[in-house]
Amino acid sequence: MKRILLASLITILSLQVNAQTIELPDTVISLNSSYLNAIDSENVPQRVKKLEEAVINYNNNAISELYDNKKDTYIVSFNLPEGKIIAAINKKGKIIRTLEKYNNVRLPLEVMQAISNRFPNWGIIEDIYLIKYHCNTNNLKKEYKVKIKNEDQILTIKTNEKGDFI
């Protein structure tokens, strides 16, 4: 009996000696996780991703000191030659709403197919990609304004990201 207890004690002590502490990476809880979850980072052009990342990583400390009321929001504009984001941010740094506008982005396949089916023999001249976000709804409203041409006629149409005409 003493041998069994002694063997058990030695086994337990040897397991504790071999036990390793594994340090896991820190978990970051973002104040703007709802915006981060709402944006689709897989199927968007690189310039759209670049501006959206700039909004997410924006440090509001310098500006937030200028505001007295916690309910105050301020507008921050992020610009590239091909697009821009206008974001309303509160004193804590949370993104309240955004309006994004990009010129001449590659249209999704669904949008191009819908346009070619409804307007055969028309060519796309230019397009504008609009994205609207509000923190209360936690989703994005995506809209494409596409200018198409057939010989001497020019027409502007609107569609959502699924190709449904608005």
Summarize pLDDT for 29-62 with one digit per residue, the tens.
667 778 888 887 677 888 888 888 888 888 877 7
The residues spanned by each domain of the chain are 27-160
pTM given for the model: 0.75
77 pLDDT band, cuts 50/70/90, is very high
pLDDT at 69 over 60: yes
Which of the given ranges, 19-28, 97-106, 133-142, has the highest pLDDT on average? 97-106
pLDDT at 28 over 80: no
> Under a CB-based contact definition with an 8 Å cutoff, are residues 135 and 102 in contact?
no
> Under a CB-based contact definition with an 8 Å cutoff, are residues 86 and 98 in contact?
yes
Amino acid making up residue 27: T
Q: What is the mean pLDDT of the chain?
A: 84
Question: Of 86, 80, 79, whose CA–CA distance to 100 is shortest?
Answer: 86
Question: Of 162, 158, 132, whose CA–CA distance to 145 is shortest?
Answer: 158
107 pLDDT band, cuts 50/70/90, is very high
Question: Of 111, 71, 115, 114, whose CA–CA distance to 92 is shortest?
Answer: 71
Give tens-digit pLDDT for 9-18. Answer: 677 766 655 5
Angle at 127 between CA 166 and CA 151, to 5 degrees: 95
Give tens-digit pLDDT for 112-144. Answer: 999 999 999 999 999 999 999 998 887 889 999
Angle at 18 between CA 14 and CA 22, to 5 degrees: 150
